[in-house]
Amino acid sequence: MKATFAAALAAAVLVAAGPAAADPDWTKVGEALGKAGAMQPGGVYKVSLPRSDLSVTLDGVALKPGFALGGWLAFEPMSDQAMVMGDLVLTQSEANPVMARLQAEGIEITALHNHLLRSTPMTLYMHVEGRGDPVKLASALHAGLTLSKTPFGAGAPSAPSPAPDLDVAAIDQALGAKGKLNGGVLQYAIPRKEAIRDGDMTVPPAMGTAISINFQPAGAATAAITGDFVLVASEVNPVIKALSGHGIEVTALHSHMLNDEPRLFFLHFWGHGPAKALAEGLAAALAQTNAQRS
């Protein structure tokens, strides 16, 4: 009798709760945006939008798209809807037309700023956020991006990149993380230890909350470096001191989100010189943070 009642009660609960919300159809999201993405840890669907159409130089270094011009959009499931966050790389003439169209489409602008100094031409970085039906969000973002020259095509297959003139194992050891080679760039994404939220949503590292460090080989064991440190307020000035003390230039300090918890600051940097010395400087800065390091 008790077993029968328990079974009936469990069935009633399942009927009341209804079926679990299915993940969005990411294929349709990619079609609406105009470019397919890939699944990332944490159930995030991320679309890379590198500005491969731009030729940008800084201090005599030609910047690869994956080094400092890598725009992206990331979608996180939210019940039967989604939250999208992204970082769009734009030229000065593109910024305001794109912003106006995105706002008209219901996409929020959460930041607009530089990441680099002295780069030619100057590029701006527009951070965006939206919530709702993921296909409609993708369509809205596509509408805004069509007012820029952001490439949507997959691009021609590239030849395998030669092994970089860098001691990758030594850099991995110094940073306490494992880098990956992507388009001739050595990339690191180092998450923070604490959970990060935006309103009622957890924001995983794939949504832009990981510390980003990129090495672009420059020959003879030298490199250019850029990226951003994701910091709480108490870490900002210790990290500036550590980077500056190792000859690494701080190029920007700002927010990327409006409702983040804890409150985060994104500190961008630039360096050019012996890769080993740059890695040591970055390691000294990482030691001032609550980053997950091996």
Domains of the chain, by residue range, sit at: 26-145, 168-286
What is the average per-residue pLDDT within 179-200?
Answer: 96
Residues of the chain with pLDDT > 70: what percent? 90
What is the average per-residue pLDDT within 211-222?
Answer: 95
Single out the residue of 169, 190, 172, 55 nearest to residue 121, CA to CA: 55
What is the average per-residue pLDDT within 33-48?
Answer: 97
Per residue in 57-113, pLDDT (tens digit) is: 999 999 999 999 999 999 999 988 999 999 999 999 999 999 999 999 999 999 999
As a whole number of angstroms, the distance between CA 102 and CA 35 comes to 18
275 pLDDT higher than 70: yes
The reported pLDDT for the residue numbered 156 is 52
β partners of residue 62: 57
Strand (E) or helix (H) holding 123? strand 123-132
168-286 maps to CATH 1.10.287: no
β partners of residue 228: 212, 268
The reported pLDDT for the residue numbered 23 is 81
5 pLDDT higher than 50: no
